[in-house]
Structure 1
């Protein structure tokens, strides 16, 4: 699975709050976490400051309380990025993750996630299938077997035709 992932998994850069001009970068690759900083200051005591860098393996990062501080880095990631990460998990892991917090429960049950999962599992998604997913949800579509799915699509089509006849 790791071979499917790009080398750089996540990167964020930023500048310290005013009046600081300090620059920070957090880079997550397949094998390590890299934290870089550049102290930019007009004050004489900081003019000679050189850029800094700490590289840690993922395991060492988890053990290094100086790098981690008291921040929950997952909480700082956007929902969009977390959904991209979650869609690579096995179904059992998604179920376990959904039990860890209300935020992950919401993400793991979201239509956005299950739409990505269905798209990766199916060769094609027909317009009828997409319409059914809009009614019942992508998660339901994923867990419905093909025969039941075809029945539901036919039922929806017949129901749509009955509505047209009434109008």
Structure 2
């Protein structure tokens, strides 16, 4: 049976904290974790340094606290937690999808599902409450949006625009126009 995982499950690369210029890569495959480094220095004692690599099975990586520390220093605690989670067999592919793709998917959900999804993680909460998602939802549900409605939605936010009664929105818009007109007269 074919595995649902690609050969490279996760990859991160980055530079060590200043003043170091060393470069690191963390690669998680279906079978192992590979930690690579390249020493980049003008200092004579490091000019002959060769790139290094440590390969560990998922089980060995879970037991190697020194590799955990090194990974956390270079890539951060969130990346380390994600790699540990992968090594334990927990694959959260949805959490790793890019935001534009998640916005597209979420925009087709029922409102109750969007509310539930916002409780899954901080990332999903931010996406579910974002102006971009609610604009997509409104545009998917409504056939036409007048320029005036769009301007109002930009002012109050697309989420509030969606949930606010249309009469209230029209009254608010009229008040804004009246106030703007009165300000212009005062000047």
Q: TM-score scaled by structure 2?
A: 0.50
Greater C-alpha radius of gyration: 2
Q: Which runs of 4+ in 1 moved over 6 A?
A: none
Q: Find the counterpart in structure 1 of residue 151 from structure 2.
A: 131
Indicate conservation of the 8 Å contact 1:86/1:94, yes or no: yes
Match of 1:121 among 141, 147, 152: 141
Counterpart check, 1:110 vs 2:130: yes
Report the 3-state secondary structure (helix = DSSP H, G, I; strand = E; otherwise coil) of the residue aligned with 1:84: helix
Question: Kindly tell me: are residues 122 and 157 of structure 1, through their superposed partners in 2, closer, same or farther at Cα, counting changes over 3 Å?
Answer: farther
Pairwise CA distance, 1:98: 0.5
Q: TM-score scaled by structure 1?
A: 0.56
Q: Find the counterpart in structure 2 of residue 159 from structure 1.
A: 179
Match of 1:94 among 114, 128, 143: 114
Query: How many residues matched?
Result: 106
Report the 3-state secondary structure (helix = DSSP H, G, I; strand = E; otherwise coil) of the residue aligned with 1:93: helix
Deviations 1:68-107 (A, max 9, x none): x433111220011001000111000000000111111100
